[in-house]
A and B are shown apart, each in its own frame.
Chain A
């Protein structure tokens, strides 16, 4: 953990409306840039010397490579100290913030703007599903038609078989997250969901149904990350990065680990992030975790130490993952209700942490929130974590 005075903080955060957007990739970038600057009038585009764009496949959905200078320019930024694009599939956003943290800690720069943006919904429906194969191993998975839904469905099969997790327990993750999104004006879906609605939604990959899955969505979000010294000048309530961890234990999917009902790499990364932050799981007030599928969130409760191994289904069933429970998981509505524009998700999780820890989250405010955790995954054994804290 960094000493006080030597920390790195978020000093501004903003996001676009997420959903089926009548907007191009660069429109989304420009909207997120404006929302981020609008959130902190003390910072102007000309003050930003470093810029990171987090985006996964603009080459496919916008036929646009080399997005860093484009995105910087569309945010009004001419970087003179540090700029790059980061891509780690669904974990890109958290990777961008970690990269900003590293750049600041190295002394290369004192302040970095990170924008995450993804255009997913293109005119051809079939091409959207074809694009979903691009993040899998082309020669050993994608060519067989393997995409994330069947992979996570087999995680669910393994977890149900070993721990007795039920389809109703999976569905309760979706009910919780969709109901959270009722008070998130930026979420793709803001309609809530009932258990019956989730259970009767159309089958995707057994046992997962439509509502067990996150949504294909367009969207973008931005944060500005700075040294503690700058943060105190520029921001009334900076949100500090207290801990972070990242891990990858294999590739492709078949090689992660043998028991798919456990994610040992996430457990390891979680312990490391908690140690760096000097906290334990019981200190976490809210967590924005990677609910790409309902089963993912169940595994995340367990591996991040919010409940004992194998108890994830009962944890959500008993209300422990909701307001009034042990920890509020995905108060924003998560990937399920906000949607999941890959490169933007980790930045959106940082946005949610920023507003929650500043007490600005409105009807979805977690009362008295002091510590937030964010988690992105880009494979069963590939995880990206950040722990945020407010000034105590």
Chain B
């Protein structure tokens, strides 16, 4: 019994990262850590290939078009447009309580991102809605990003 209780304590109290879906963002774990550093400054960025100019998403360390490893960081356009969206009411994973709005968001740089749209009612979102970045804190000094309606962000 004692041993079993010890195992439970270990899993709850220690850092069992394998059960944590948030990426390992810090420099010592991740070669694209500048993405997260930029995010903490309120900038959404990705990589562009110096050799062929290809902008990809998600950011990479090797260009998938020409296999160059010479990549620069570039900022996203400030505003994205909702291509499609849905409101999840049931079956949400832990940490994402219903209702959650998920959207496919298109940017003028050719990138599409799948991400939640937050701080609004489901009926406020429509096809073509303009959205902007919202950086949110995550456990253990990490960050994630969501989007919010552009009109709401000025209120």
Residues of chain A touching chain B, judged by Cβ–Cβ distance below 8 Å, are 126, 129-130, 132-133, 137-147, 149-151, 153-154, 157-158, 161, 202-208, 210, 213, 252-255, 258, 260
What chain A residues lie within 8 Å of B91 (beta carbons)? Answer: 129, 132, 147, 149, 204-205, 213
The residue in chain B whose Cβ has the minimal distance to the Cβ of A152 is: B86
Scoring B residues 1 to 40 as 1 if CB is less than 8 Å from chain A, else 0, what string do you get? 0000000000000000001011100000000000000000
B114 in the interface (beta carbon within 8 A)? yes
B-side interface size class:
35 or more
> Does B79 lie at the interface of the complex (its beta carbon under 8 Å from any beta carbon of A)?
no
A144 touches B88 (CB 8 A): no
Q: Are A150 and B21 in contact (CB under 8 A)?
A: no
Q: List 26 A-B contacts (CB under 8 A).
A: A137-B58, A138-B23, A143-B144, A144-B96, A144-B146, A145-B96, A147-B93, A149-B91, A150-B88, A150-B100, A150-B102, A151-B102, A151-B114, A154-B84, A154-B102, A154-B104, A157-B86, A161-B84, A203-B87, A203-B89, A205-B86, A205-B89, A205-B102, A206-B89, A206-B122, A254-B113
Q: CB-nearest residue of chain A relative to B89?
A: A203
Residues on B with beta carbons closer than 8 Å to the beta carbon of A158: 83-84
Report Cα–Cα, A207/B103, bound state, in Å: 14
Q: Using CB atoms, name the residue of chain B closest to A154.
A: B84
In the complex, how many angstroms separate the beta carbon of B33 from the nearest chain A beta carbon? Answer: 12
- CB A52 to nearest CB in B, in angstroms, measures 26
B89 and A143 form a contact (CB under 8 A): no
The reply to whether B93 and A130 form a contact with Cβ atoms under 8 Å apart is yes
Q: How far is the CB of A213 from chain B (nearest CB, A)?
A: 8
Contact of B112 among A149, A153, A258 (CB under 8 A): A258
What's the Cα separation between A161 and B83 when bound, in Å?
Answer: 11
B137 within 8 A of A: no
CB-based contact B114/A146 at 8 Å: yes
Asked if B85 and A154 make an inter-chain contact with CB atoms under 8 angstroms apart, the answer reads yes
Set of chain B residues within 8 Å of A129, measured between Cβ atoms? 91-94
Report how many A-B pairs have Cβ atoms within 8 Å: 109
Q: How far does the alpha carbon of A258 sit from the alpha carbon of B83 in the complex, in Å? A: 9
Sorted nearest first, the 3 A-B pairs with minimum C-beta distance are A145-B96, A153-B86, A150-B102
Tell me the smallest distance from the CB of A156 to a CB of chain B, in Å: 8
CA distance A253 to B85 in the complex (A): 14
Question: Chain B contacts of A145 at CB under 8 A?
Answer: 92-93, 95-96, 100, 102, 116
Nearest A residue (CB) for B101: A150
Q: By the criterion CB–CB under 8 Å, are A255 and B86 in contact?
A: no
> Taking the complex as formed, is B41 at the interface, i.e. its CB lies under 8 A from any CB of chain A?
no
With CB as the reference atom, state the residue of chain A lying closest to B97: A145
Question: How far does the Cβ of B27 sit from chain A's closest Cβ, in whole Å?
Answer: 15
Contact B87 A206 (CB under 8 A): yes
Do A154 and B86 touch across chains, with their CB atoms under 8 A apart?
yes
B21 close to A138 (CB less than 8 A): yes
Q: List B residues 67-123 near A (Cβ within 8 Å).
A: 83-96, 100, 102-104, 111-116, 122
Determine the distance from Cα of A143 to Cα of B92 in the docked complex, in whole angstroms.
13
User: Separation in Å of the A359 CB from the closest CB of chain B?
Assistant: 39
Residue of B nearest to A260 (CB): B84
Are A255 and B23 in touch, CB under 8 angstroms? no
Tell me whether B114 and A161 are in contact (CB under 8 A). no
Least distance between A129 CB and chain B CB atoms (Å): 4
Q: Is the CB of B88 within 8 A of A153?
A: yes
Check B93 against A133 for contact (C-beta < 8 Å).
yes
